[in-house]
């Protein structure tokens, strides 16, 4: 019995959300008095793989097969599942990232395992294996019991935090047999905005709504986000009007996020928007309407015109950083 964590690399590096998944998987391994093995697929330098030991992985399976250098959902799921079987791992942990969301269900079917995705806490240890996960787009949580022998968990970013747990780590090459039929998708191009913080796993988010009046006014939002090292987001009417890309739309029908800080500017706080952001740790609302429903769920608020408040906030932040 052991725990297996899939460590997703992007351009040969692991992101914070990966170290968070390793930290979480290590805590589960500790609950079950067993070891943690990590599996990495693609070109990752040994020094980077060794980093995983810092968070508690005692073994890293390194898959560097040529056919698997770029992401192929079906083949990656096969490799991770066969690693779980070979290692005798009955719990498989992934980040609930875009790729993780594609992999976890396939692994669950291969292992006949119950899947808890969007997990926000460690499993219960009361004899049942229950995982708290988000449901109803942030309006509730479902305590989901995984009743199968094997279990798969996809952890939400920022839900557990990165926890150091230095362990001696060994790195083994893992030879994966790749079936041709598992290679049905072929990547043609990857476009990544490297200068921006990615929204789903951002710790800080600056978001704006219709109160900004038009796409030409987003300069100050981007400046504020840049100073904070935050990702930018927007409300549904804004992405519907094509002021901002759909990938920035947070809310019930956009993406749900749980950053440490969410600053909402010129967003009234409709129930659908709140659903996607209510699990943020700290919420700041800037709105000229003191009756805006968003103030009811905010920790800090400023009643004022965004066009006056945001530039002053930028000044104050510059002064604070200096």
Chain positions 173 to 202 lying near other proteins, rule: CB under 8 A, are 181, 184-194, 196-201
Q: Which of residues 38-77 bind other proteins (CB under 8 A)?
A: 71, 73-74, 77
Residue 50 in contact with residue 168, Cβ under 8 Å? no
C-alpha atoms less than 13 angstroms from C-alpha of 9 in its C-beta half-sphere: 23
Of the candidates 26, 59, 244, 249, which one interacts with other proteins according to CB under 8 A?
A: 249
Q: Is residue 250 a contact point for other proteins (CB under 8 A)?
A: no
Is residue 166 within the footprint of other proteins (CB under 8 A)?
no
Task: Please choose, out of 33-41, 167-175, 213-221, 283-291, the segment that lies near other proteins by the rule CB under 8 A.
Answer: 283-291
Q: Is 58 or 102 the residue whose CB approaches other proteins more closely?
A: 102
Among 33, 46, 47, 112, binds other proteins (CB under 8 A): 112
Around 316, how many Cα atoms within 13 Å sit in the side-chain half-sphere? 6
DSSP state of 24: H
CA distance 250 to 244: 12
Encoded one letter per residue, x for contact with other proteins by CB under 8 A and - for no contact, window 146-165 reads: xxx-----------------
Select from 46, 127, 177, 320 the one that contacts other proteins (CB under 8 A).
320
Sheet strand arrangement including 170-173: 130-135, 114-119, 151-155, 89-95, 2-7, 36-41, 59-63, 170-173
Q: Least distance to other proteins from the beta carbon of 11, Å? A: 11
Give the one residue of 143, 161, 170, 215 binding other proteins; rule: CB under 8 A: 143
Residues 6+ apart with CB under 8 A from 33: none
β-sheet bridge partners, residue 302? 286
Q: How many residues bind other proteins (CB under 8 A)?
A: 103
Helix or strand holding residue 313 (H, E): helix 306-321
Q: Does 304 bind other proteins (CB under 8 A)?
A: yes
Q: Which residue stretches of 6-111 are H helix?
A: 16-31, 46-50, 73-87, 98-110
Torsion (CA) 255, 261, 264, 270 in degrees, nearest 10: 50
Q: Does 244 bind other proteins (CB under 8 A)?
A: no
Instruction: Based on the shown chain and the rule CB under 8 A, indicate whether residue 284 belongs to the binding site for other proteins.
Output: yes
Out of 79, 106, 153, 225, name the contact with other proteins by CB under 8 A.
Answer: 106
- Which one of 38-46, 51-59, 103-111, 210-218 is the stretch in contact with other proteins (CB under 8 A)? 103-111
Specify the DSSP class assigned to residue 66: G
**255 to 146, 153, 239, 262, 273: CA distances (angstroms):** 25, 19, 12, 14, 10
* Closest approach of other proteins to the CB of residue 166, in Å: 25
Q: Please report, as residue ranges, which positions from 8 to 27 form the binding site for other proteins (by CB under 8 A).
A: 10, 15
């Amino acid at each position: 019995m052991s725990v297996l964590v899939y460590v997703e690399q992007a351009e040969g590096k692991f992101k914070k959300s990966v170290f968070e998944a390793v930290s979480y998987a290590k805590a589960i391994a500790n609950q079950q008095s067993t070891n943690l093995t990590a599996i990495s697929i693609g070109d990752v330098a040994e020094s980077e793989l060794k980093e995983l030991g810092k968070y508690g992985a005692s073994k890293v399976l390194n898959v560097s097969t040529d056919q698997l250098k770029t992401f192929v959902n079906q083949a990656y799921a096969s490799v991770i599942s066969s690693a779980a079987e070979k290692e005798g791992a009955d719990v498989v942990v992934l980040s609930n990232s875009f790729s993780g969301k594609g992999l976890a269900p396939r692994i669950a079917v291969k292992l006949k395992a119950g899947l808890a995705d969007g997990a926000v806490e460690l499993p219960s240890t009361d004899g049942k294996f229950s995982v708290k996960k988000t449901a109803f787009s942030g309006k509730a949580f479902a305590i989901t019991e995984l009743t199968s022998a094997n279990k798969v968990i996809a952890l939400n970013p920022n839900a557990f935090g990165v926890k150091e747990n230095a362990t001696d780590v060994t790195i083994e090459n893992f030879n994966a047999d790749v079936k041709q039929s598992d290679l049905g998708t072929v990547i043609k191009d990857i476009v990544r905005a490297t200068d921006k913080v990615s929204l789903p796993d951002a710790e800080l988010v600056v978001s704006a709504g219709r109160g900004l009046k038009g796409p030409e006014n987003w300069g100050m939002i981007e400046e504020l986000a840049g100073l904070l090292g935050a990702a930018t987001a927007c409300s549904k009417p804004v992405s519907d009007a094509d002021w901002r890309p759909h990938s920035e739309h947070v809310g019930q029908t956009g993406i749900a996020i749980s950053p440490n800080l969410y600053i909402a500017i010129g967003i009234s706080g409709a129930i659908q928007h709140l659903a996607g952001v209510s699990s943020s740790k700290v919420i700041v609302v800037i709105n000229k309407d003191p009756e805006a429903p968003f103030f009811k769920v905010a920790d800090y608020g400023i009643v004022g015109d965004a066009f006056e408040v945001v530039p002053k906030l930028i000044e104050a932040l510059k002064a604070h950083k200096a």
